Chains A and B, each alone.
Chain A
C-alpha cells in the first residue's frame, strides 16, 4: 500500500517561497491569485497491512521525523497503490 503525505507551512506562518512564486505568477499575468503556499509531498510504500495500523504508523512517522510541527501541518491518505 501507498501513503501520500502532504506537508505545508502552518496557517499564518510566512512562506517566503510561496510569496516569491506568487509574485512571479502575478508578473506572468496570472492576476487572480490570493496566495501561494509551498509545501512537500512524500510518498511511502508500505508493506500491505491492516489500514488502521498503517494510519497509526504513518501518523507516527510524520510526528517523529517528517514534519516539524512548530512550522508545518500535515495530512495524509493511504491508498491501495
Chain B
C-alpha cells in the first residue's frame, strides 16, 4: 500500500467526546467520579474501543463512588483500528484534564493529589478486580523527586502532570525451543518484534539456561510453525512469549538433566541445572564433573534424540503498567505555537529485562502522544474525504520537534511472570495528551478541551481569555 492508501484505508483510532464530573474536597480528596463517553469507530458496531476506554478512565484512582456510561456512535467514516492503548488516551485526556483543572483551581500540587487518591496495592480497581502488585505510587514519588519537577519555569512556560494506565495482556501463546549440537539454543516465537521483544526473550532464555546471550537465537517464525499465537498486541509479546519461552527452556533443562542422569547412572531427580550445565544435586548423587549444554547437545543423537522444549498456554498473570509524565512547554503567545521544552516519562516496567528497549518504548509512546496532543489530525473535507493523506500534512512530530525525552524505569516486579515482566508498550501514549494540555493551561491560562492543541486553536483560546 502507498502511504496515502495506508492513511485512507487502514483505519485511524476512534473519534471521541467525553463528559467528566469529579467530586473533590478542598484538601484534594476525591469523593466521586462520573463519566459519559461517546466514541465513533466507523460504520460498523463494535469497532470503537469504548469497552477499553471506560475501565481505563479511573484506573489510576481509588475512588469510593464511580459511575461509567458510554455510547458508541455509528457514522460513515473509516472503520477504526487498534491504536496503541486503544481508548485509554482519550479517557485519560478527559479525566486527567479534569483532575488538573481542579488542582489548579484549588492550588494543589498535581502529584500530591494523585499520591493521595491514586490506586495502591489492595485498591479495588475502577473496573472491578483488586490490584495486588502495582507501581503507580512509585512512579508518582519518582516524578516528584526528579530534577525536572523542580526546574523553575520561564515566561510563557507551563508544566503539566498526568498519569496513565494500560491493562496489558497475556493471550494465546506457543513457543518452541531447540537445543543445538553446539550447545546453543534456538527459540521460535510467533509474536513479531515491534520494539525489543526478541532481545528481551533471548536474555530471559539465556538466563534460564545459564548460557551467554550470544548463544541464544530468537526467531519470529511463520504462523504454521507453531501452535496458535495471538499477534503482538496488548503489550503482550515480551510478557507472554517470554513467559512461554522460559517454560520451554525449563522443559529442555529437565530433559538435559535426564540425559546427564542416565550417563551418570543416577536418578534424574538427583541432577540440578546451573550455569549452563547439569550438576549432581548433592554429595549423595556421586562425584560427577558438570556436564555442559554443549556436551549434552553434542551427543544427543545417541542419548535419546533431539532435545527441545515447548510451551503452549493462554498466558495469565499479566500485570498492569502505570506511568506518570511531567512535561514543560513554552507557548508563543502571539501565534499559539507550543514547543515541548522538557519531557519526563516515569513508568513501571515490572522488571526491565532490556532497559534500553524499555526506555525506547517509553520515549516512543511519549513522542506519539505528543504528536496526538499537538498536531496530528485527520482533516476531512465537506465531501467526507480525507484531505491530508501524506506526512507533509498529517503532522507527526519530526526529530527536531522533540526534546530529549528523559526516562525513569520503575521496577515493581509482576508476580505473574517468572522474571517479573510487565508489558510496557502502550501505557506511554496515554499521559501525554492531558499532560500537554495541562502544561498549555499553565503557560497561558487557557484550557484546551479538544485535541490536537494546534496553534490556531491555542491562539484563539488565548485571545478569548484576554477578552
Is the pairing of A and B real? no
Chain A residues packing against B (C-beta within 8 Å)? none
